[in-house]
Amino acid sequence: MAGENDDERPRKPATRLVHVGRDKVITGPFVNPPVQHVSTVLFDTMDEMRAPKGYSYGRRGNPTTNALTAAIAELEGAAGALVCPSGLSAASVALLAAANAGDRVLMVDTVYGPVRHLAASVLARLDIETVFFDPAIGAGIAALMTPNTTVIYAEAPGSLTFEMLDLPAMAEVAHAAGATVVFDNSWATPLGFRPLEHGADIVVMSATKYLVGHSDAIVGTLAANERLWPRLLEAHGSLGTHVGPDDVFLTLRGIRTLGVRLERHSASATKVAHWLRRRPEVARVLYPPLPDDRGHALWARDMNGACGLFGVVFNGWSNARADAFVESLALFAIGASWGGFESLAIVANPAGTRTATTWTEGPLVRLHVGLEDPDDLIADLDLGFAAAAATG
């Protein structure tokens, strides 16, 4: 579906965020699309119902979802896009679309935890084998390819540990073997990275994070290139995937301010990260935009944006000390998810969850830097270090 100003003139990202998905056919004379609550679609004749020209049934889309899918497709440069009831649902639809019984899926070891569980449970029951790989593998992924390898599932930066990976190098290997590349783009969003232009075939996003942006809805999105679009659409429809219009509307609303929010999240995260790097308690800050981050070269080559989420590793801290640090913070709340306006902190120890890589650096703290003033956040962390020092 065409955007409001879908002409030939190139548009900068900030401009596109304002205009994507605002087709007058959907919005009428208004700025925003209606929040269309719909199940039944009515027809004048049986012939029209048998061959619908537009909407056919509520589960198959309505004006609100079409506005969002048009926006996502344009932002990702995709042949088509879909909405799912969560980011995890988007990942499962992508995997069920791309893999067949008896296939092998190669999955990055730093994948979002619940996707790893999906592989070990539902995919394993469908006789889909998952082999995990080190995010640093690059073109070396060729060594893991077998004749039945049909999917590479990647995510960057990695969940909790923020490793970058060489998507174009891996995609080249995958495509030479006819395999599909799925990429989780929740961290960078299409503002910071357009995976389809770097070799991905399907893009998964947890819109719950920065697209919704206000911690008040769970939504996922999918986008695909021409080759994978029919298969993705078929899986999404066959599985009955549908999202109510209120949450779709919240996602569309979030997209309008995504640019300014991400600018602020990134700038504040950079300031906080630089401050943390100078602390004697800190061993490493895991944030690819930092010049001394291990993934910085790949980040600088492929991405043109970041967000407010990063990790911190400490010098010999116990789990108890990391817990005390996080629990003493006043502005960083303890809680899952990220991407909202508020700052969050959690303690994680990836040592027990990885199989293709080894984590030996102890507990890490994952911070989401929200839209508060970064100076206040730094003062909060400063008090946190004092509280942590008082713990054994």
Rounded to an integer, what distance in angstroms lies between the CA atom of residue 305 and that of residue 298? 12
Alpha-carbon torsion (253, 254, 255, 259), positive or negative: positive
Rounded to an integer, what distance in angstroms lies between the CA atom of residue 184 and that of residue 178? 20
Q: Which is nearer to ligand PLP, 75 or 111 (CB)?
A: 111
Q: Which is nearer to ligand PLP, 215 or 349 (CB)?
A: 215
Q: Which is nearer to ligand PLP, 208 or 328 (CB)?
A: 208
**Min separation Cβ 112 and ligand PLP, Å:** 4
The strand ranges marked E within 90-200 are 104-108, 129-133, 149-155, 180-184
Cβ 87 vs Cβ 209: under 8 Å: yes
**Min separation Cβ 225 and ligand PLP, Å:** 20
Phi, psi values for residue 192, rounded to 5°: -100, -20
Sheet strand arrangement including 220-224: 80-84, 220-224, 202-206, 180-184, 149-155, 104-108, 129-133
Find the catalytic residue in 104, 209, 256, 354.
209
Binding-site ranges for ligand PLP (CB under 6 A): 86-88, 112, 155, 159, 184, 186, 206, 208, 218, 220, 337
178-to-43, 148, 201, 228 alpha-carbon distances in Å: 42, 10, 11, 12
Q: Which is nearer to ligand PLP, 93 or 179 (CB)?
A: 93
**Cα 366-368-373 angle, rounded to 5 deg:** 135
Three-state secondary structure readout of 178-195: CCEEEEECCCCHHHHCCH
**Min separation Cβ 336 and ligand PLP, Å:** 8
Q: Which is nearer to ligand PLP, 38 or 333 (CB)?
A: 333
Rounded to an integer, what distance in angstroms lies between the CA atom of residue 112 and that of residue 98? 18
Find the catalytic residue in 23, 103, 104, 112.
112
184 in catalytic set: yes
Q: Which is nearer to ligand PLP, 23 or 247 (CB)?
A: 247
Rounded to an integer, what distance in angstroms lies between the CA atom of residue 347 and that of residue 350? 10
Find the catalytic residue in 184, 201, 293, 302.
184
Query: In the bound complex, which residue of the shown chain has the CB atom lying closest to ligand PLP?
Result: 87
**Min separation Cβ 75 and ligand PLP, Å:** 17
**Min separation Cβ 9 and ligand PLP, Å:** 34
59 in catalytic set: yes
**Min separation Cβ 155 and ligand PLP, Å:** 6
**Lookup result for tokens 């306006």:** 341
Q: Report the SS3 class of residue 141.
A: helix
53 in catalytic set: no
Find the catalytic residue in 24, 59, 60, 301.
59
112 in catalytic set: yes
First-to-last C-alpha distance (Å) of the chain: 60
Catalytic (active-site) positions: 59, 112, 184, 209
